Amino acid sequence: MTKQPEQKTINWGIIGLGKIANKFATDLQTVSGAKLYAVASRSLKKAKDFAKKYDATKTYDSYEQLAKDDNIDAVYIATPHALHKENTLLCLEYGMAVLCEKPFAMNAEEVETMIAVAQSKNGLLMEALWTYFLPHYQFVLDAVKNNTYGKLLKLEADFGFYRDFDNSSRLFNKSLGGGSLLDIGIYPIFAALSTLGLPDKIEADATYFKNGADASCDMTFKYEDGAIAKLKSSLIEDLKTEAIFSFEKATVKINTMFHQPSTITLYTENKEKTLDFDYKTIGYNYETIHFNNLLRQGKTESDIMTFAFSKQLISTLDEVRALINLKY
């Protein structure tokens, strides 16, 4: 029997070491054939503390130094939204495969540039919208694709939590893309686009903090076939953060925190059933495994989180921003 070649270990780098980077690094430890090799922060102490916590080999206090490290195969960009384009282009320039946290960038023009550069360099680039890869969400997508419960008629999805306003926090910093829409509103919009597609008409209304960042956003997506999506994001109230898909023959509800590992309640003919997907991780390992496979196969684009979908997502966010007169 021929011995199978050992799977190449993919060395990861992380740029930006905030809350989401900690989650990514935690789950990276559960992925076989992958290692956190290097981390970069503008604070060397922060980089060293992070590296010690997650057993990274190298630490840098400069993003460019990390980008120049030839031992790194892939980099996860977890900096604030406004830096995504700059950081992505830097890493692509040095030949790295890039997994960039959502939103891909601040607007469609930036996303177009990032994709064009990746294509010109024949490099792998993907927007890290982890929800797309989670088993419970794949269950919903399969139900839509296979017409399991008939036509999807309506989606209701929200994402909201209360936070005391803090102008120094990235979450509220308008210049960094803070506010409810780009940070969390992207998830309800993602749910609509991935199941119902691009809407034929969008209605949107927002409230604002005193610094001009959006505090909440209510959106209605309307479709020519009569389908509708009611979406909401908020930083001023705690919402259920559920996604409810109403089909002709059933209602499929992704329970609270629908964007992360969750359960699904299925309502059919007066019957109620809860599906548990037996998650063992935070959930970031699924997109990482997918990305690692793309890299090993020499692919330059995901067949799930495609460039076309990323463009649709950011263009829809741009359209909503125009409707609510939100400018960065």
Give the tens place of pLDDT for each residue, 83-141: 999 999 999 999 999 999 999 999 999 999 999 999 999 999 999 999 999 999 999 99
Are residues 239 and 298 both part of a single domain? no
Helix axes 186-195, 307-324, angle to 10 degrees: 130
Total structural domains within the chain: 2
**What is the average per-residue pLDDT within 164-171?**
93
Residue 310: its pLDDT value, please?
A: 98
Report residue 6's pLDDT band, with 50, 70 and 90 as the boundaries. low
- The reply to whether 126 and 143 lie within a common domain is no
Closest to 209 in 3D by CA, of 247, 164, 176 = 164
Is residue 5 in some structural domain?
no
Q: Is 238 helix (H, G, I), strand (E, B) or coil?
A: coil
Q: Are strands 243-247 and 251-254 parallel, antiparallel or unpaired?
A: antiparallel
Distances, alpha carbon 320 to alpha carbons 209, 210, 316, in Å: 17, 20, 6
pLDDT, residue 3, reads 45
**120/207 same-domain check:** no
Q: Are residues 18 and 119 in the same domain?
A: yes
150 & 43 share domain = no
**pLDDT tier for residue 270 given thresholds of 50, 70 and 90:** confident
pLDDT of residue 4: 46
Give the helix ranges, DSSP H, for 265-326.
285-296, 307-324
> Which structural domain range is residue 63 located in?
10-130+284-303
Please report the pLDDT score of residue 8 as a whole number.
85
Q: Is the pLDDT of residue 190 over 50?
A: yes
> Can you give the pLDDT at residue 301?
98
Inform me whether the pLDDT recorded for 233 exceeds 90: yes
229: left (phi over 0), alpha (psi -120 to 50) or beta: beta
Residue 5, pLDDT > 70, answer no
Is there a domain that residue 318 lies in? Answer: no
Specify the pLDDT at position 7: 79
Are both 152 and 247 inside the same structural domain?
yes
- pLDDT above 90: percentage of residues in the chain: 95
| Domain containing residue 188: CATH number | 3.30.360.10
Structural domain includes residue 326: no
Torsion of CA 281, 284, 286, 291, to 10 degrees: -150
Q: Are residues 143 and 269 in the same domain?
A: yes
Confidence band, pLDDT 50/70/90 cuts, at residue 2? very low
Same domain, 117 and 145: no
CATH number for position 42:
3.40.50.720
Query: Over the chain, what is the mean pLDDT?
Result: 96
pLDDT interval class at 279 (50, 70, 90) = very high
- Read off the pLDDT of residues 21-57 as tens digits, 9 standing for 90 and up: 999 999 999 999 999 999 999 999 999 999 999 999 9
Residue 320 in any domain: the answer is no
Joined together, the tokens standing for residue 52 give 């010690």
| pLDDT computed for residue 1 by the predictor | 46
DSSP annotation string for 121-153: TT--EEEE-GGGGSHHHHHHHHHHHTTBTB-EE
- Residues 141, 75, single domain; the answer is no
Does a structural domain hold residue 266? yes
Per the domain annotation, does 308 fall within a domain? no
In a domain, 123, yes or no: yes
| Same-domain status, 149 and 269 | yes
Same domain, 214 and 160: yes
pLDDT band per the 50, 70, 90 thresholds, residue 68: very high
Q: Is residue 225 part of a domain?
A: yes
pLDDT of 328 reads 85
Q: Which helix (H) or strand (E) covers residue 12, if one does?
A: strand 10-15
Does residue 125 share a domain with residue 26?
Answer: yes
